[in-house]
């Protein structure tokens, strides 16, 4: 009886990242994948959504042309067929590059649906495989409420949206999390009559009320946004789709369900592991080893329902790949939390969220971009940013923003937070002129002015760092 | 006889920044300014140039429209009169906000040309003023070669360019430093037939041959660029302007002189200070105190010919303002060097330049953006970046780039360099997907792979940071 060192179930971002570590240490493994090979990210996630957004933002730029002195913007039209063809052409390229990773695996790559029989047995295509370790990285799929009527092809998810030959005239986007927000704005900018519906009053993963208010206001200027109630979807007798929330009723051509993703673990035998499962059928997982209880089974990527983000899935894969092939179990410090929503302006949350902070022990600095010089020159002067620090010593804890270049600020702040820097450390870098980062600096100075240490550190905060007099 | 604590000569960025510190500590000062009040930055520098660039890039975006599926781009026209009007409208706003700083000074703000008579005497408008300290912050003006013919209004500098009612048909931009490069590309994108001339083979302040080659190649695709010889300007008998370099001869409607800036110190009496002056008429200045010799005279901003950059001028002003009003002379650590050229893609240099490094003791990592995913999706996949680290321990020393979002990478790298971080520290931050920073990560991983420490730090470099096994 052959016994594998590792069976990796799922060849998405987490599985492929696990594979990279596993194959460095053993040849005695298989990768099992159900359905199309290629990652959620490349096939139906990060990449096609960004391609839609780039086309949408390019088309939307015409609204700034008159102010810049450019005439003829009203002659611009979107050829949605062509736009979607480009999206799929590049998407296919991105998918192909992920396929290269498994193409040379030969018999060690198995297409089929895996079912775990026990912590050392996996059934696939009617065959029983024995293994020392298992990595479950089966990914996730969009949630569709069971009580919705059958809308056929008029019900879209990110699995089907990017396959459309042309765009519908009107659409309800239900769910105003990151994916819903990105797609609602992009589709609206591409000319679809979009209505957004969100059950909570907070959108896009924001938890800071000021930032949420800013984002809601800015997005509402582009498409109607109905928040704070559960939308119901009705298919009338004349085959018209109506979406309702409280006393609002909107007729639409199609519905995009953007209600989050659920792990692909149903029917795969997690119940045979002998550990408790939650109501989603998931066992609890140690976030710094990814081990399930003390079993030789590891749960990585979207499937563990921790954070459905590419960079976290890739990290998960590395962790699981190492912890199935190294002699000793390794505990990992996870990265600084970072979430970016690629709306315009960008939405981003880095470090500790507003909601998670103890507000009596922090101070906040904020900036509006309405009068920020560089942003005004680019007609992108919309948005706000708030940054949080420990009141005792000014150590940076987190930030939330709906701001131009927010995706870039978030990386800068992630480094500052990872290095446990304080607000004066960050103020010591050169802020070139004129850059959008000067807006971030305004928020940092605002924060600095509220901290007791400010009077002693004024130079570090507002001018060059003084190495002799103030250290 | 009244004796002032401080006389500030010049109310530009450095002078205003000095003023902010001085007025916190004394009321017994005057500010003397010759010519129009308002800063070089707001009037004729950073801000109007960025306004021209934003209009130019907006208009240039039409070249990507066909690929995105947007039709009608050929109907877009530039109304240059309107574009320049917007530029001046916003420029005037920026100038107004700098004027606010001096508006309430009353008699402490003097319009006139100052002349230093001795380290404690300044003559202005025929009146002799006595003072304990002097801050010279008289700024700079564009260099115009003395051997050029008189071109009248057809000779432009950044002092006159932004005053044009309409754009010329054709222009020679002479000088391919930061200002020349920015204006040449912007004017070209606005439809002016631009020819660029640079005396050196390196452009825009780049010193890394790979990055320079990348920038030259990309810019040459937009307008002809003649490098490596001194351009001569000839006014023919029929009043036609010809610009020549070796066997190249170009007829142009006008010439933009972008040959750098010279300090405004002529005739202001620096010779009365009793210290040696160089061939530009400048005394040597201590860069960390800005003091001239041991005199009570400080030289700040563009006038000291150190770094003609807004953020350095502002720092200079703070230093001079403090060192004229604090009891003891303070030495300042200057910020990490940072230079950004706002071309597309951005050119940026941060930390130690390629040229200044000892190449036997460093390693370099590089990335091309040609295949970078996010850049491809936005049709901005052009450029390259190179990052330098100490070969012994991977400490980040500097980077040069001609890359999309380079202005943002430069700030992130400035923080890493200021904090003396190594390549693995920077790789430990989350790189969200898909962002342009993933391109920077590719360069960092390339660098990491060349460092001896890599094998021990592989996890920090390539995956999540391992806090237990590897620390």
Q: pLDDT digits over A219-253, tens only? A: 999 999 999 999 999 999 999 999 999 889 999 99
Please name the residue that has the structure tokens 């390229």.
A93
Q: Is the pLDDT of residue A406 over 60?
A: yes
Among A17, A415, A469, the residue with its CB nearest the CB of B415 is A415
B244-272, pLDDT tens digit by residue? 998 899 999 999 999 999 999 999 999 99
What's the confidence (pLDDT) of residue A257?
98
B81 touches chain A (CB under 8 A): yes
Contacts of A377 in chain B (CB under 8 A): 47, 50-51, 54, 90
| Contact flag B86-A72 (C-beta cutoff 8 Å) | no
| Contact flag B437-A408 (C-beta cutoff 8 Å) | yes
Query: For residue B167, what are the β-bridge partners?
Result: none
Among B71, B378, B430, the residue with its CB nearest the CB of A77 is B71
Q: Hey, where are the domains in chain B?
A: 3-142+262-323, 152-261, 338-461
A182 touches chain B (CB under 8 A): no
Among B322, B333, B414, the residue with its CB nearest the CB of A465 is B333
Selected residues 320-379 of chain A with any CB under 8 Å from a CB in chain B = 322, 328, 330-340, 373-374, 376-379
Residue B240 has φ and ψ, to the nearest 5°, of -90, 135
Q: Can you tell me the distance from the alpha carbon of B275 to that of B296, in angstroms, rounded to the nearest whole number? A: 13
CATH topology match: B3-142+262-323 vs B152-261 = yes
Contacts of A434 in chain B (CB under 8 A): 46-47, 50, 310
CATH topology of domain B338-461: Enolase-like; domain 1 (3.30.390)
Q: How confident is the model at residue A452 (pLDDT cuts 50, 70, 90)?
A: confident
What does the radius of gyration of chain A's CA atoms come to, in whole angstroms?
A: 25
pTM, rounded to two decimals: 0.96
Q: How confident is the model at residue B456 (pLDDT cuts 50, 70, 90)?
A: very low
B7-19, pLDDT tens digit by residue? 999 999 999 999 9
Q: Can you tell me the distance from the alpha carbon of B142 to that of B255, in angstroms, rounded to the nearest whole number? A: 13
Q: Is the pLDDT of residue B465 over 60?
A: no
| Contact flag B429-A414 (C-beta cutoff 8 Å) | yes
Q: Is the pLDDT of residue A99 over 80?
A: yes
| Percentage of chain B exceeding pLDDT 90 | 93
Closest residue in chain A to residue B350, using alpha carbons only: A430
Cβ contact A215:A402 at 8 Å: yes
**What does the longest C-alpha to C-alpha distance in chain B come to?**
80
Residue B256 has φ and ψ, to the nearest 5°, of -105, 115
What's the confidence (pLDDT) of residue B459?
46
Q: Can you tell me the distance from the alpha carbon of B327 to that of A14, in angstroms, rounded to the nearest whole number? A: 61
Contacts of B469 in chain A (CB under 8 A): 328, 330-331
Q: Can you tell me the distance from the alpha carbon of A322 to that of B459, in angstroms, rounded to the nearest whole number? A: 10
Measured at the CA of B99, the angle between CA B95 and CA B104, to 5 degrees, comes to 165
Q: Does domain A3-142+262-323 have CATH number 1.10.1740.10?
A: no
Q: Can you tell me the distance from the alpha carbon of A280 to that of A265, in angstroms, rounded to the nearest whole number? A: 9
Neighbours of A153 (CB within 10 A): 9
Selected residues 9-28 of chain A with any CB under 8 Å from a CB in chain B = 17, 21
Structure-block tokens of residue B390? 């100490």
B434 touches chain A (CB under 8 A): yes
A166-175, pLDDT tens digit by residue? 999 999 999 9
What's the confidence (pLDDT) of residue A454?
52
Q: How confident is the model at residue A453 (pLDDT cuts 50, 70, 90)?
A: low
Closest residue in chain B to residue A372, using alpha carbons only: B94
Q: Is the pLDDT of residue A457 over 80?
A: no
Among A73, A77, A330, the residue with its CB nearest the CB of B468 is A330
Among A332, A337, A428, the residue with its CB nearest the CB of B335 is A428
Contacts of B421 in chain A (CB under 8 A): 419
A305-350, pLDDT tens digit by residue? 888 899 999 999 999 999 999 999 999 999 999 999 999 999 999 9
Contacts of B287 in chain A (CB under 8 A): none
What's the confidence (pLDDT) of residue B306?
86
Q: Is the pLDDT of residue B466 over 80?
A: no
What mean pLDDT is predicted for residues A119-135?
98
Contacts (Cβ under 8 Å, ≥6 apart) of A194: A170, A171, A172, A173, A184, A185, A187, A188, A223
Contacts of B322 in chain A (CB under 8 A): 459, 463
CATH topology of domain B152-261: FAD/NAD(P)-binding domain (3.50.50)
| Contact flag A79-B69 (C-beta cutoff 8 Å) | yes
Q: Is the pLDDT of residue B222 over 60?
A: yes
Cβ contact A13:A314 at 8 Å: yes
Cβ contact B331:A467 at 8 Å: yes
- What percent helix, strand, coil does chain B show, rounded to 5? 35, 25, 40
Please count the CA atoms within 13 angstroms of the CA of B441 that sit on its side-chain side.
20
- Mean pLDDT of all residues belonging to chain B: 94
Size of interface A-B (CB pairs under 8 A): 272
Query: For residue B351, what are the β-bridge partners?
Result: B398
Determine whether A104 is exposed, middle or buried from the number of CB atoms within 10 Å of its CB (0-12, 13-18, 19+): exposed
Q: Is the pLDDT of residue A424 over 70?
A: yes
Contacts of A329 in chain B (CB under 8 A): none
Selected residues 296-315 of chain B with any CB under 8 Å from a CB in chain A = 309-312, 314-315
What's the confidence (pLDDT) of residue B470?
26
Selected residues 436-455 of chain B with any CB under 8 Å from a CB in chain A = 437
Q: Can you tell me the distance from the alpha carbon of B285 to that of B312, in angstroms, rounded to the nearest whole number? A: 15
SS3 label, residue A336: coil
Contacts of B76 in chain A (CB under 8 A): 65, 70-73, 75-76
What's the confidence (pLDDT) of residue B240?
96
Q: Is the pLDDT of residue B358 over 70?
A: yes
Cβ contact A183:A49 at 8 Å: yes
Closest residue in chain B to residue A417, using alpha carbons only: B429
A247-283, pLDDT tens digit by residue? 899 999 999 999 999 999 999 999 999 999 999 899 9
A76 touches chain B (CB under 8 A): yes
B86-113, pLDDT tens digit by residue? 999 999 999 999 999 999 999 999 999 9
Q: Where are the beta strands (DSSP E) in A100-228?
A: 109-111, 114-118, 121-124, 127-136, 140-142, 155-156, 170-174, 193-198, 225-227
What's the confidence (pLDDT) of residue A461?
36
What mean pLDDT is predicted for residues B162-176?
98
What's the confidence (pLDDT) of residue B452?
86
What's the confidence (pLDDT) of residue B388?
98
Contacts of B429 in chain A (CB under 8 A): 335-336, 411, 414-415, 418
Please count the CA atoms within 13 angstroms of the CA of B150 that sit on its side-chain side.
1
Å between A178 CA and nearest CA of chain B: 13
Q: How confident is the model at residue A3 (pLDDT cuts 50, 70, 90)?
A: very high
A96 touches chain B (CB under 8 A): no
Q: Can you tell me the distance from the alpha carbon of A174 to that of A196, in angstroms, rounded to the nearest whole number? A: 6
């Amino acid at each position: 009886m052959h016994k594998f060192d590792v069976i990796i179930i799922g060849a998405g971002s987490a599985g492929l990242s696990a594979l990279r570590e596993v194959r460095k240490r053993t040849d005695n493994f298989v990768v099992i994948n159900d359905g199309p090979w290629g990652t959620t990210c490349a096939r139906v996630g990060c990449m096609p959504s960004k391609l839609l957004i780039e086309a949408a933002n390019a088309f939307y730029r015409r609204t700034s042309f008159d102010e810049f002195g450019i005439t003829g913007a009203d002659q611009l039209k979107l050829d949605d067929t062509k736009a979607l063809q480009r999206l799929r052409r590049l998407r296919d390229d991105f998918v192909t590059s992920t396929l290269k990773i498994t193409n040379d695996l030969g018999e060690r790559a198995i297409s089929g649906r895996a079912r775990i029989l026990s912590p050392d047995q996996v059934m696939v295509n009617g065959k029983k495989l024995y293994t020392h370790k298992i990595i479950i990285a089966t990914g996730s799929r969009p949630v569709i409420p069971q009580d919705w009527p059958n809308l056929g092809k008029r019900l879209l998810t990110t699995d089907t949206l990017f396959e459309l030959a042309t765009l519908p005239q009107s659409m309800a986007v239900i769910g105003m999390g990151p994916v819903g927000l990105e797609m609602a704005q992009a589709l609206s900018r591409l000319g679809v009559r979009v209505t957004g519906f969100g059950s909570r009053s907070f959108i896009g993963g924001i938890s800071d009320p000021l930032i949420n208010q800013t984002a809601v206001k800015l997005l509402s200027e582009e498409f109607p946004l109905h928040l704070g109630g559960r939308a119901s979807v009705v298919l009338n007798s004349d085959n018209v789709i109506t979406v309702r929330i409280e006393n609002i009723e909107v007729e639409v051509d199609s519905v995009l369900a953007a209600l989050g993703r659920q792990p692909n673990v149903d029917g795969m035998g997690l119940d045979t592991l002998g550990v408790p499962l939650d109501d989603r059928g998931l066992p609890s997982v140690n976030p710094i080893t990814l081990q399930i209880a003390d079993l030789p089974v590891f749960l990585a990527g979207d499937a563990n329902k921790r954070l459905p983000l590419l960079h976290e899935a890739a990290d998960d894969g590395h962790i699981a790949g190492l912890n199935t092939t190294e002699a000793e179990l390794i505990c990992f410090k996870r990265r600084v939390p970072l979430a970016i929503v690629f709306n315009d302006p960008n939405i981003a949350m880095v470090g500790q969220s507003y909601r998670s902070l103890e507000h009596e022990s922090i101070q906040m600095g904020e900036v509006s971009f309405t009068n920020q010089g560089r942003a005004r020159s680019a007609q992108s002067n919309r948005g706000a940013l708030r940054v949080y620090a420990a009141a005792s010593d000014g150590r940076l804890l987190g930030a939330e923003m709906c701001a131009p270049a927010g995706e870039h600020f978030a990386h800068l702040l992630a480094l500052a937070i990872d290095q446990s820097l304080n607000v004066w450390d960050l103020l010591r870098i050169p802020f070139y002129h004129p850059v959008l980062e000067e807006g971030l600096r305004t928020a940092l100075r605002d924060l600095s002015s509220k901290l007791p240490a400010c009077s002693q550190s004024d130079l570090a905060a507002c001018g060059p760092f003084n190495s002799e007099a103030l250290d």
